[in-house]
Every structure is written in C-alpha cells, then in structure tokens.
Amino acid sequence: MRNLLSPRMATYEHKYYDYLLSNKKDGVLYLSMTDDIKHRTKPYKEEKYKKAFSKRYQTKRLVYFEEYQCFKMRRQERKN
C-alpha cells in the first residue's frame, strides 16, 4: 500500500513558527507564520517578491521567532 502522506505529515512531531522581520531604518515590523523558517525567510532577503510589503519596507532582518506544535491553536491565539 502506498503512503499518501508527505514525509512531513508522516512524522508525529511537526513544528511551526511565528516570525518577526524588521528593517533597521524605520523600525517597521512584519509578522507571519510558517512551518519552514529557513525556507520562508530566504525570499525576503533575496527580494523575490517585487510588490510585496517586505520589499517596500526592506524587512529583511529576522528579529524574533517562536516555535510551537499545533498550528490551529496558535492561529486562534493570534486572532484573540
């Protein structure tokens, strides 16, 4: 029988991250969430998205991240 789950989904422990990017000049902050922090922050540094908020305000510097296990619970916490 073929495993239809991706390698990430097949593992019991899955990590998620809230991360905060900033620029040095104006103190602009950008908050987001991801399951792969290294991969997700790379496009910001490379300025891959030309019309994005991060490009306009040069938010390239990772200033904070927090790891957690349950995406749905964390997302609900952020909404409150």
CB 43 within 8 A of CB 59: no
Task: State pTM to two decimals.
Answer: 0.65
Q: pLDDT below 70 — which residues of the chain?
A: 1-13, 45, 71-72, 75, 78, 80
Q: Which residues contact 70 (CB under 8 A, 6 or more apart)?
A: 16
Give residue 13's pLDDT: 65
* pLDDT at residue 3, rounded to an integer: 46
Give CA–CA dist 80/77, Å, rounded. 5
b (16+ CB within 10 A) / e for 7-16:
eeeeeeeeeb
- Residue 11 is predicted with a pLDDT of 47
**pLDDT for the residue numbered 29:** 92
Here the tokens at position 49 are 């998205």
